[in-house]
């Protein structure tokens, strides 16, 4: 009986460690572009960060009215507030600030820096 409990406990610890490793590598979210601008770059960085993150669109555009499921590799479970920086076809920067991505699976980007998180 003690052996079975030990094995069950060991398997639980191994699976828990594996799960945290998987989630630490990236975060999947759906981005809905309702900003009235076509986006050609979308960078997701911790709020108040001075470094720009990688392009989460991977070289693809996200036209107004489109949605796309993305994974951004710089996701850190210790960070709660994130900013998104979009770049339009004309090079204009658009910013959505202080998004809590720990609770969001879908983000609707609106005009004027507004966003809805679901």
CATH number where 86 lies: 2.60.40.2890
Q: What is the DSSP string of the chain?
A: -HHHHHHHHHHHHHHHHHHHHHHHT-EEEEEEEESSS-EEEEEEEETT-SS---BTTTT--B-TT-EEEEEETT--TT--EEEEEEEETTS-EEEEEEEETTS-SEEEEEGGG-EEE-
Q: What is the mean pLDDT of the chain?
A: 83
Residue 100 lies inside a defined structural domain of this protein: yes
Question: Could you tell me if residue 21 is inside a domain?
Answer: no
Q: Model pTM?
A: 0.76
User: Residue 83 belongs to what domain range?
Assistant: 26-117
Question: Closest Cα partner for 113 from 95, 98, 101, 99?
Answer: 95
* Residue 22: both structure tokens together: 């998987």
What pLDDT, on the 0 to 100 scale, is given for residue 101? 86
Confidence band for 82, pLDDT divided at 50, 70 and 90: very high
What is the reported pLDDT for 3? 56
The answer to whether position 48 is within a domain reads yes
Residue 91 lies inside a defined structural domain of this protein: yes
Number of domains present in the structure of the chain: 1
């Amino acid at each position: 009986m003690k052996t079975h409990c030990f094995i069950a406990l060991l398997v639980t610890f191994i699976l828990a460690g594996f799960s945290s490793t998987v989630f630490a590598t990236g975060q999947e979210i759906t981005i809905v572009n309702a900003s009235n601008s076509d986006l050609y770059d979308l960078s997701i960085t911790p709020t108040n960060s001075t470094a720009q993150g990688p392009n989460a669109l991977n070289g693809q555009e996200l036209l107004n009215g489109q949605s796309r499921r993305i994974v951004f590799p710089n996701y850190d479970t210790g960070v709660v507030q994130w900013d998104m920086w979009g770049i339009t076809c004309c090079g204009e920067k658009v910013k959505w600030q202080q998004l809590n991505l720990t609770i969001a699976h879908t983000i609707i980007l609106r005009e004027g820096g507004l966003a809805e998180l679901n």
